[in-house]
A and B are shown apart, each in its own frame.
Chain A
Amino acid sequence: QSALTQPASVSGSPGQSITVSCAGTTNDVGGYNLVSWYQQHPGTVPKLIIYENNKRPSGVSNRFSGSKSGNRASLTISGLQADDEADYYCSSYGGSSFPYVFGTGTKVTVL
């Protein structure tokens, strides 16, 4: 199973909106509505911010939103803030033999 493909880096100015893409295949992203996103600040453990393509766990800011179309998922961060500067990873269910497929990761920089 190959990793999902994400851009290495995305940047934006405070207050702007940015989108991080996550490309997979029909065996993972396209085959299930089970894409999740994780935020990881330097030196900390990842934190779940989106599940089931577009749902937010309790306590996660509504500035984070997710979507999926075909084999591609996206994470949008609106009203970009300094604290949003972190690494972001998508993940998808990949079937019973390989249930967890992660993306390559995207470094979000706030200019």
Chain B
Amino acid sequence: QVQLTQSGAEVKKPGSSVKVSCKASGGTLNIYSISWVRQGPGQGLEWMGGFNPMFGAATYSQKFQGRVTIIADESTSTVNMEMSSLTFDDTAMYYCVREGSSWTFDHWGQGSLVTVSS
């Protein structure tokens, strides 16, 4: 049973960057894709992008293209998501999720709260 364990909460200033990590256990990263989904306070779910090991590359939502980088380190079974130029609107819970069959998210990390505050 795969488990996704994320890094802890972060407080960042506007204009800075944040890196959130996601470590997979109970499986290896090279056999499934990992995406990042965020949820603002009281808001809905939003797909940001994901890493596909088959292609060895990440794809991004147009909204986050150029501001978000997703990189996988298969040696440590970790996927990192880095977001730059943070604004107050980036305050949210960030989830790493495993992409299951039929374009679903079948395993979720516990979430990492990122707060952007001056």
Contact residues of A with B, CB < 8 Å?
Answer: 1, 3, 34, 36, 38, 45-46, 48, 51-52, 57, 89, 91, 93, 97-105
A29–B1 Cα distance when bound, in Å, is 30
Let me know if A36 and B104 touch, CB within 8 A. Answer: yes
Contact flags (1/0) for B44-62 with A, using CB distance below 8 Å? 1111001000000001011
Q: Determine the chain A residues whose CB is within 8 A of the CB of B101 once the complex forms.
A: 51
Question: Would B47 and A100 count as touching, CB distance under 8 A?
Answer: yes
Q: A45-B110, A98-B61 known; A38 and B102 CB under 8 Å? A: no
Q: A-B contact count, CB below 8 Å?
A: 58
The CA of A105 and the CA of B111, in the complex, are separated in Å by: 19
A98 to chain B: which residues have CB within 8 Å? 47, 61-62
Complex: how many Å from CA A91 to CA B100? 13
By beta carbon, the residue of chain B nearest A3 is B44
Q: Contact check, A101 vs B47: say whether CB atoms are below 8 A apart.
A: yes
Q: Which residues of A contact B47 (CB under 8 A)?
A: 98-102
9 residue pairs of the A-B complex, CB under 8 angstroms, read: A34-B102, A36-B102, A36-B105, A45-B109, A48-B104, A57-B106, A98-B61, A100-B35, A103-B44
The verdict on A48 contacting B45 (CB below 8 Å), with A98-B61, A100-B35 known, is no
Q: Point out the residues of chain B lying under 8 angstroms from A46, CB to CB.
A: 45, 105, 108
**B44, A51: Cβ atoms closer than 8 Å:** no
Q: Could you tell me if A105 and B45 are in contact, using CB atoms closer than 8 angstroms?
A: yes
**What are the interface flags for B76-118 relative to A under an 8 Å C-beta threshold, 1 for contact and 0 otherwise?**
0000000000000000000100001111111011110000000
Which residues on A sit within 8 Å (CB–CB) of B59? 99
